[in-house]
Amino acid sequence: VAEPKPAPRVGVVLILLKGKSVLLGRRRGTIGHSTYALPGGHLEFGESFEECAARELKEETGLDIEKPEYLTVTNTIFREIPKPAHYVTIYLRAVLADTSQVPQNLEPEKCDGWDWYEWDKLPEPLFLPLEEMVRSGFNPFPTE
């Protein structure tokens, strides 16, 4: 049987801000294995970007957000073996609804664990789309 023709998919990811830091986790078992990436996932049918970001964050870390705001979009072709993938990814930023909340690793098959990293001292290697965004000089923090 022929494989269905691959199509681009929509990712929604969250830059969760806490002081000068953002929340990152090391990916497992999928594209970008063992690279540091933002929480997020696939946009589901009927969802807003804000709903998707809040849902994925909750599923992956147990955290709740406030003030989600659209930031930017990336278009990335992952030339990975055995299966390439193509993502249009929407980036939102937000802050914690309750700053005393601590991230939990609720999907350990997909992530080694969550932690806060200063934007100026990000860990390596970063997931490709994030790596490109950082290299371009992108700054996710609100300007006061």
Distances (CA, A) of 109 to 5, 68, 70, 112, 142: 28, 27, 28, 8, 33
| Span interacting with Mg ion, options 18-26, 41-49, 87-95, 134-142, rule CB under 5 A | 41-49
Out of Mg ion, ligand 8DG, none, which partner does residue 53 contact, by CB within 5 to 8 A per kind? Answer: none
User: Applying CB under 5 A, does 41 fall inside the site for Mg ion?
Assistant: yes
Of 25 and 96, nearer to ligand 8DG (C-beta) is 25
Do 9 and 42 form a contact (C-beta atoms < 8 A)? yes
User: Applying CB under 6 A, does 31 fall inside the site for ligand 8DG?
Assistant: yes
CA separation for the pair 137, 143 (Å, rounded): 15
User: Applying CB under 6 A, does 11 fall inside the site for ligand 8DG?
Assistant: yes
18, 20, 33, 42: residue in contact with ligand 8DG (rule CB under 6 A): 42
CA separation for the pair 127, 104 (Å, rounded): 20
| 120 Cβ contact partners less than 8 Å away, ≥ 6 residues apart | 20
Q: Which residue is nearest to Mg ion (CB)?
A: 41
- Give the total of residues touching Mg ion (CB under 5 A): 2
CA 34 to mean position of chain CA atoms = 14
| Span interacting with Mg ion, options 21-29, 56-64, 84-92, 113-121, rule CB under 5 A | 56-64
